[in-house]
């Protein structure tokens, strides 16, 4: 196990570190200055090793709660946004002050899911990250909590950090949390829970072991961390879930010490565009396909023809990403559609040779080309 882990960690050149609200704040909601100072010192030291560092930091809402003197975490979106607007500046000021003591330059990047799901904005964000990293800057990323609404929320910084790891082609994603890592059952309720040191592949058993554990200030439980693991490892980033309270945890990880739970990056990561289609986008609608088409897509990696389409739902335009469902209503893939929803409704179930007769035009023989399709099963 240890040898495997060391092998994957010895050539790390770019690392994304995510720190959660529960690690950054006291139970009161006020910032835990000792933890933040320790984190900045560690990140600066990792940077001194010649490793590029990106920090994904929660804590804006928590910092705002403390500043505003609130007794508990706000429950409505506008209240959370107000707390975030107050807290984000406090949090960044703290980071800038501490990083400057170690001679480091920090930059703030606030993202929403729309920045990831829109292909142009996704590529622009990638370019921004690379420009900052080339200048030796440490980007500090958070969801733009002051303006997001439910429809565009990542909902937790575990998912956001995994998307950032894929965005910048990071070698390693480290989730600093308030627990030691993944157990085969919830250690808070089962004293016999066994610790899992190494995950070669995220199976249904691993997902089942995650359960759902969280804290009063954070939003992401263990299941969100496992989902983040799927996103990160499929893009070629290894991931570690580890307790952020240890004094020198990042250097310990990079030195190959067996702490936390290590998730191995897949040997065959998804091509960048397909990874974006699989995890970065919010599909505009659904297409249900028959069993024959499902087999053609998953087993033979074929394009989707109109003949295999059973039904559609939602309204979408040509060029948008849609979700592909099988007859059991299971999501089996995402793809960039060649026709709008009205046209798909007209040509569903037909042979490709009949498209022009029905629509009066034919730009494509296929509804989704294999190059623009990613399967999720």
Per-residue pLDDT of the chain (377 residues; tens, 9 = 90+): 455 787 778 889 999 999 988 788 887 777 888 999 999 999 999 999 999 999 999 888 888 888 888 887 788 888 888 888 999 999 999 999 999 999 999 999 998 878 887 778 888 888 899 999 999 999 999 888 777 666 546 667 898 999 899 888 899 999 998 888 888 877 777 788 888 898 888 877 787 777 644 433 344 478 888 888 988 998 889 999 999 888 899 999 999 888 999 999 887 777 766 777 777 778 889 999 999 999 999 998 899 999 999 999 999 988 888 999 999 999 999 998 999 999 999 999 999 999 999 999 888 889 998 878 888 87
- Establish if 70 belongs to a structural domain: yes
Q: Is residue 102 part of a domain?
A: yes
In the listed set 270, 299, 328, which residue is the last one of a domain according to the structure? 270
Q: With respect to residue 21, please indicate whether it lies within any of the assigned structural domains.
A: yes
pLDDT value of position 124: 85
Alpha helices in the chain (DSSP H): 2-9, 21-24, 33-48, 60-68, 77-101, 113-117, 119-134, 157-167, 204-210, 222-234, 249-254, 272-275, 291-298, 341-347, 355-359
Residue 278 domain-assigned? no
- Whether residue 146 sits in one domain with residue 43: yes
Rounded CA gap, 54 and 242, in Å? Answer: 17
Does one domain contain both 323 and 255?
A: no
Annotated binding site: 18, 58, 145, 157, 177-178, 219-225
pLDDT digits (tens, 9 = 90+) for 228-237: 898 899 888 9
Up-side HSE of residue 243: CA atoms within 13 Å toward CB?
A: 10
276 found inside a domain = no
Kindly state whether residues 205 and 228 are assigned to the same domain: yes
Q: Is residue 335 part of a domain?
A: yes
pTM (2 d.p.): 0.77
pLDDT of residue 205: 78
Task: Name 240's bridge partners.
Answer: 174, 262
Contacts of 33 (CB under 8 A, 6+ apart): 94
State the sign of the Cα–Cα–Cα–Cα dihedral 70, 72, 78, 81: positive
Same domain assignment for residues 77 and 124? yes
The single residue listed with the structure tokens 């498209």 is 355
pLDDT computed for residue 151 by the predictor? 53
d(CA 299, CA 304): 13
Cα 319 to Cα 367: distance, rounded to the nearest angstrom: 11
* Separation CA 302–CA 121 (nearest Å): 29
CA distances to 111, 178, 228, 321, 338 from 279, in Å? 15, 26, 10, 11, 20
User: Is 256 in the same domain as 289?
Assistant: no
Which residue, chain included where needed, has tokens 């554990």?
Answer: 213
Q: Are residues 266 and 294 in the same domain?
A: no
- Indicate whether 90 and 222 sit together in one domain: yes
In a domain, 49, yes or no: yes
- Find out whether 29 and 217 touch, Cβ atoms under 8 Å: yes
Same domain as 287, residue 265: no
- Residue 275 belongs to some domain of the structure: no
Binding-site residue numbers for substrate are 58, 145, 157
Q: Are residues 261 and 292 in the same domain?
A: no
Tokens (6 digits) for 249: 């945890």
Which of 235, 270, 305 delimits the end of a domain? 270
Domain span holding position 304:
283-375
Known binding-site residue numbers for ATP: 18, 177-178, 219-225
Residues 244 and 348 in one domain: no
Overall domain count for the chain: 2
Residues 111 and 63 in one domain: yes
**Residue where a domain stops, chosen among 270, 300, 331:** 270
Q: What is the pLDDT of residue 211?
A: 65
Please give the Cα distance from 49 to 57 (Å, whole number): 21
**pLDDT at residue 256 in the model:** 86
**CATH number of the domain enclosing 106:** 3.40.1160.10
What's 321's domain CATH number? 2.30.130.10
Same domain? 112 vs 247: yes
């Amino acid at each position: 196990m240890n040898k495997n882990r060391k092998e994957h960690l010895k050539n790390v050149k770019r690392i994304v570190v995510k720190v959660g609200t529960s690690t950054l704040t006291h139970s009161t909601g006020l910032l835990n200055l000792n933890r933040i100072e320790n984190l900045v010192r560690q990140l600066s030291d990792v940077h001194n090793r010649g490793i590029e560092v990106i920090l994904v930091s929660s804590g804006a809402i928590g910092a705002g709660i403390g500043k505003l003197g609130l007794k508990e975490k706000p429950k409505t979106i506008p209240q959370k946004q107000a707390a975030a607007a107050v807290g984000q500046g406090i949090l960044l000021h703290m980071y800038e002050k501490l990083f400057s003591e170690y001679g480091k330059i920090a930059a703030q990047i606030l993202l929403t899911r729309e920045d990831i799901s829109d292909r142009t904005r996704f590529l622009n964000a990638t370019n921004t990250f690379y420009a900052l990293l080339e200048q030796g800057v440490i980007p500090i990323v958070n969801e733009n909590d002051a303006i997001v609404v439910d429809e565009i929320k990542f909902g937790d910084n575990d998912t956001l950090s995994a998307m950032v790891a894929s965005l910048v082609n990071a070698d390693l994603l480290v989730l600093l949390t308030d627990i030691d890592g993944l157990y085969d059952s919830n250690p808070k309720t089962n004293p016999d829970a066994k610790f899992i040191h190494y995950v070669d592949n995220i199976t249904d058993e691993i997902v089942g072991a995650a359960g759902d554990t969280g804290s009063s200030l954070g939003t992401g439980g263990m299941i969100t961390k496992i989902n983040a693991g799927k996103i990160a490892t499929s893009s070629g980033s290894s991931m570690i879930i580890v307790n952020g309270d240890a004094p020198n945890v990042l250097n310990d990880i990079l030195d190959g010490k067996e702490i936390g739970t290590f998730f191995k990056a897949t040997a065959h990561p998804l091509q960048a565009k397909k990874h974006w289609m699989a995890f970065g986008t919010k599909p505009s609608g659904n297409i249900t396909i028959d069993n024959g088409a499902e087999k053609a897509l998953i087993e033979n990696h074929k394009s989707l023809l109109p003949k295999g389409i059973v039904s559609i739902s939602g309204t979408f335009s040509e060029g948008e990403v849609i979700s592909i469902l099988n007859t059991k209503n299971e999501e089996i893939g995402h793809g960039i559609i060649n026709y709008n929803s009205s046209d798909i409704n007209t040509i569903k179930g037909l042979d490709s040779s009949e498209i022009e007769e029905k629509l009066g035009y034919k730009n494509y023989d296929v509804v989704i080309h294999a190059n623009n399709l990613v399967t999720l099963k």
